[in-house]
Amino acid sequence: MQRLTRLLANNKGFLTFMLCMFVFRSAVADWNVVPTGSMQPTIEIGDRILVDKAAYDLRLPFTHISLMHRADPQRGDIVVLDSKAAGERLVKRVIGVPGDQIALVQNHLYVNGQAANYRPIQVKGIWADREDPALYAVEGIGSMQHAVRWSLAVQGHTNDFGPVTVPANQYLLLGDDRDHSADSRYFGFFPRTEITGRATRVALSLDPDNHYLPRSDRWGTALR
């Protein structure tokens, strides 16, 4: 017991630093590894993303208890959530906020009856394109402008839905890789209380298809 006491006393500074770091990562800011391609091309497999955990709420560390409400997710935000329905942490884009009417028809988005516009773009460096060729476009509706990916191998647009109205305190979330994302089309609306932060930029990126070498061109890239 005395030995343990001396050990703790000698490492008090280190233990305090570690506790402060864990509190900071739990309540203020964190970084997450992205293991799937559901947000391609915006977020690539192997990206480590920075998450602003104080963007919407100041929470009691290590819990989902909100101590102070700061803002609500806006259409177009990339959010991180601990999903009970999915049983895991997800990174998705907010497409519908409470009260919105949302539909996806032949993979084209409609928000409150307004059709999104699409501008084709060229995207290079997505390793999945070699086995799963895709088309890319900037999806725009109001102030929301972001890239989406459509797989050429998927037929019939089986993920289309709606129109549906987003309930109070719920959000409709989709992945930017529209044909390869388990999102609100599978799990339904996501509760506001499950959203823990907003993804802001790529901290660093490692290429799993190239021996996990750094993708230096992606480091520090803002997420939009």
The total of structural domains in the chain comes to 1
Task: Note the pLDDT of residue 19.
Answer: 42
224 belongs to a structural domain: no
Model confidence pLDDT, tens digit, residues 69-97: 999 999 999 999 999 999 999 999 999 99
With beta carbons less than 8 A apart as the criterion, state whether 156 and 180 touch. Answer: no
34 belongs to a structural domain: yes
Compute the distance between CA of residue 27 and CA of residue 25 in angstroms, rounded to an integer: 6
Compute the distance between CA of residue 189 and CA of residue 107 in angstroms, rounded to an integer: 19
Q: Indicate the angle between helix axes 12-27 and 2-10, nearest 10 degrees.
A: 70
43 belongs to a structural domain: yes
Question: pTM of the prediction?
Answer: 0.86
Model confidence pLDDT, tens digit, residues 99-157: 999 999 988 999 999 999 999 999 988 878 888 899 999 999 999 999 999 998 876 55
Q: Which residues contact 154 (CB under 8 A, 6 or more apart)?
A: 179
HSE-CB of 53 using CA atoms within 13 angstroms: 25
Q: Which residues contact 60 (CB under 8 A, 6 or more apart)?
A: 27, 66, 67
223 belongs to a structural domain: no
**CATH classification at residue 42:** 2.10.109.10
158 belongs to a structural domain: yes
Model confidence pLDDT, tens digit, residues 194-207: 999 999 999 999 88
**How many C-beta neighbours within 10 Å does residue 220 have?**
12
